[in-house]
Amino acid sequence: MRLCIFSGSSSGVKESYTLAAKKLGQELASKDIGVVYGGASVGLMGAVADAALECAGEVIGVIPRSLFDKEVGHMGLSNLHVVKNMHERKAMMAELSDGFIALPGGIGTFEELFEVWTWAQLGYHPKPCAILNVDGYYDQLIGFLDHTVSQGFLKQSHRDLLIVEQDTSKLIERINAYQPPLVAKWN
């Protein structure tokens, strides 16, 4: 099994974000779950990768050529794919992964998470989509998603496709137990 980790190429302002990224990398490696991620050696991306590698885990990076130097491509990975653009990056990351976890990050992280979650909603894949809500980082987004349900723009069944946990172990348990619901988009 491999899980795709979406996260920031920066570390954010709280040390807890980096500690959570490291813990996630360690825990995935200890459970023999491979990591697929954006291929950078910096920020939370690098923290997840380094922690998994230190525990002898498999780590696969996928990075566009244009970002290779900017995000400081990680040269110590199990495998690093340098691709043409962001579309190829996201497609390859999705193809190589059995599920998705978002750590704290910026608009790139949000965009990646929302795209795979939309694909799940549309039935394009049966893979779990999840958020590790470190120190309440995603609380306001979760509140907004619930507001979206209350306003009739998102079905509760589609909202429920997104797993949200604060605890790394519990998140991995829920991902392992995930069964995609039979939910029709347009009904």
pTM of the model: 0.95
pLDDT tens column, 176-187 = 999 987 755 555
Provide, rounded to the nearest whole percent, the portion of the chain with pLDDT above 70: 97
Q: Could you give all domains of the chain from N- to C-terminal order, each with its CATH number?
A: 2-173 (3.40.50.450)
pLDDT band at 71 (very low <50, low <70, confident <90, very high): low
The residues with which 131 forms a beta bridge, in sequence order, are: 102, 164
At residue 114, the pLDDT reads 98
